[in-house]
């Protein structure tokens, strides 16, 4: 919500958007991996929706910037804030 608010205000939102993306994609991957685990061997079968969900969730960590790149954006923002002495 903060990233969207910053965008609406015309302020830079790169770090906030990266934080939101990393959180959402990593959490989605953990949830769908658990779903596949619960379904066992059937979880990887095309007959099970969990396999499609797994593929869809996995690609989100790659699509529009990998999680590693987003983490670098977040780290650069944090280091810049630290250097300026900003604690928000």
Of the candidate ranges 34-38, 63-67, 78-82, the one whose mean pLDDT is the lowest: 63-67
* 64 part of the active site: yes
Count up the domains in the chain and report the number: 1
Mean residue pLDDT across the chain: 89
Task: Choose the catalytic residue: 26, 34, 64, 68.
Answer: 64
Query: Average of pLDDT values for 8-24?
Result: 92
Q: Is the pLDDT score of 33 beyond 80?
A: yes
Q: Which domain holds residue 39?
A: 2-84
Distance CA 53, CA 29 (A): 9
Sign of CA dihedral 79, 77, 16, 5: positive
Q: Supply the pLDDT for residue 77.
A: 92
Residues 41-79 have pLDDT tens digits of 888 788 889 989 998 998 888 877 788 899 999 999 999
Q: Supply the pLDDT for residue 18.
A: 92
Instruction: Write the secondary structure of 4-57 as one string of H (helix), E (strand) and C (coil).
Output: HHHHHCCCCCHHHHHHHHHHHHHHHHHHHHHHHHHHHHHHHCCCCHHHHHHHHH
Q: What CATH number is associated with residue 60?
A: 1.20.140.10
């Amino acid at each position: 919500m903060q990233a969207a608010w910053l965008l609406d205000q015309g302020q830079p939102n790169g770090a906030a958007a990266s934080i939101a993306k990393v959180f959402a994609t990593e959490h989605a991957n953990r949830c769908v991996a658990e779903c596949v685990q619960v379904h066992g061997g059937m979880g990887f079968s095309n007959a099970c929706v969990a396999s499609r969900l797994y593929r869809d969730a996995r690609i989100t960590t790659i699509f529009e910037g990998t999680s590693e790149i987003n983490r670098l954006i977040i780290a650069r923002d944090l280091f810049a804030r630290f250097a300026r002495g900003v604690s928000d």
